[in-house]
């Protein structure tokens, strides 16, 4: 990515991803199991969402095809995300005729994206803390 610079009038903005690259390198080399866990966890939630996303055959606008996921370092923080780029995805609810295990009238994004991501974040936070403590013990 490198440095990104923009200039407008007398205002100068400079974004350098050096810190992000350093954090990513440290995670991959010093915390490989955490790196594997975050990537695997995000991918599992994404695949479950893709497999269980509700599709209305006649009136579908293709929100299932707008699911996306990524794991990246941004601003020195590790960010794992799963998103649906359809602007209406947050409003899709389970209807009476829906063939799913999800509860009636619930938003599928809550059950397939938000709740699993919250659980994963809690699990990964504990995992990262344990890995960092174990890293200190090795010294």
**Mean pLDDT over each residue of the chain, to the nearest integer:** 87
pLDDT of 43 reads 96
Q: Does the pLDDT value for residue 15 go beyond 90?
A: no
pLDDT of residue 1: 45
pLDDT tier at 78 (50, 70, 90 boundaries)?
confident
Nearest to 40 by CA among 98, 127, 105, 99: 127
Is the pLDDT at 115 greater than 70, yes or no? yes
Give Rg (Cα) of the chain: 19
Ranges assigned E (strand) in 24-136: 67-74, 77-84
pTM of the shown model: 0.79
Angle between helices 115-138 and 32-52 (to 10 degrees): 170
CA angle 26, 27, 33 (to 5 degrees): 140
């Amino acid at each position: 990515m490198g440095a990104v610079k923009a200039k407008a009038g007398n205002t100068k903005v400079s974004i350098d991803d050096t810190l992000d690259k350093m954090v990513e390198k440290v995670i991959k080399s010093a915390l490989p199991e955490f790196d594997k866990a975050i990537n695997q966890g995000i991918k599992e939630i994404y695949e479950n969402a893709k497999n269980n996303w509700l599709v209305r055959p006649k009136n579908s606008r293709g929100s299932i095809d707008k699911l996306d996921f990524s794991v990246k370092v941004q601003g020195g923080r590790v960010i794992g995300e799963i998103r649906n780029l359809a602007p209406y995805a947050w409003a899709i609810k389970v209807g009476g005729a829906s063939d799913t295990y999800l509860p009636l009238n619930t938003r599928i994004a809550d059950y397939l994206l938000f709740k699993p991501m919250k659980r994963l974040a809690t699990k990964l936070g504990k995992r990262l803390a344990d890995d960092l403590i174990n890293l200190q013990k090795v010294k």
